[in-house]
A = this chain, B = another copy of it.
């Protein structure tokens, strides 16, 4: 089995990077072939071009690589901070440019693009790790936590992925070293469990 792991955070010593390292190490330890990308390190260009509005493949070599890896992968892992109820722009651009038709979803041939899409990523597992500086109650009652539906329905659901997990670590700005270590242990356990279930 294979995994695609995508990280979006500009600061190399961020807790997001610690999550990324834990995810990659855990997957390696349980023998999952892992494609791992730090989008900032890759200097990924997140701006979808006019040409990419249709179904033509992108010219960008990074987009091509990420797309091939995504299609091959059984587990799609995304790691990012909650910025404005959304991923950082560099990851939003990964969604815009990599998760495109006809390989991740498509429309019936007689459809204008206004009908129901056909998801092409069925059977894959979506996994999201988020960091946040907002208390849980305020996130859920005031902001309505847009990332929950963005990942679960707008991205994974749209492409036919039914099984997904999302874990939020907060409040990062006020967290202790011990809490962070504990969170990384939770990630290791969760990933191991998800893979075990899938192997059955």
Are the C-beta atoms of B112 and A174 separated by less than 8 Å? Answer: yes
Instruction: Indicate whether A172 sits within 8 Å of B133 (C-beta atoms), given known contacts A85-B149, A154-B146.
Output: no
Are the C-beta atoms of A86 and B92 separated by less than 8 Å? Answer: yes
Partner of A89, one of B40, B96, B144: B96
Assess whether A93 is interfacial by the CB under 8 Å rule. yes
State which residues 78-118 of A face B: CB under 8 Å.
83-90, 92-93, 95-96, 99, 112-114
Assess whether A160 is interfacial by the CB under 8 Å rule. no
Tell me the bound Cα distance from A146 to B85 in angstroms: 9
Assess whether A57 is interfacial by the CB under 8 Å rule. no
Are the C-beta atoms of A84 and B146 separated by less than 8 Å? Answer: no
Tell me the bound Cα distance from A158 to B138 in angstroms: 11
Can you list, as one digit per residue, whether each of A117-134 has a CB less than 8 Å from chain B (1) or not (0)?
000000000000000010
Are the C-beta atoms of A88 and B48 separated by less than 8 Å? Answer: yes
Are the C-beta atoms of B114 and A10 separated by less than 8 Å? Answer: no
Instruction: Select from chain B the residue with minimum beta-carbon distance to A134.
Output: B114
- Chain B nearest CB, measured from A13 CB (Å): 10
Tell me the bound Cα distance from A158 to B12 in angstroms: 27
Tell me the bound Cα distance from A85 to B144 in angstroms: 14
Tell me the bound Cα distance from A126 to B173 in angstroms: 29
Are the C-beta atoms of B153 and A143 separated by less than 8 Å? Answer: yes
Are the C-beta atoms of B113 and A173 separated by less than 8 Å? Answer: yes
Partner of A53, one of B11, B53, B114, B157: B11
29 contacts between A and B (CB under 8 A): A10-B50, A10-B52, A11-B53, A12-B50, A40-B47, A46-B47, A46-B89, A47-B90, A83-B95, A83-B96, A84-B92, A84-B158, A85-B146, A85-B149, A85-B154, A86-B154, A89-B90, A89-B92, A89-B93, A89-B95, A90-B93, A92-B93, A112-B174, A114-B133, A114-B173, A142-B153, A142-B157, A143-B149, A146-B147
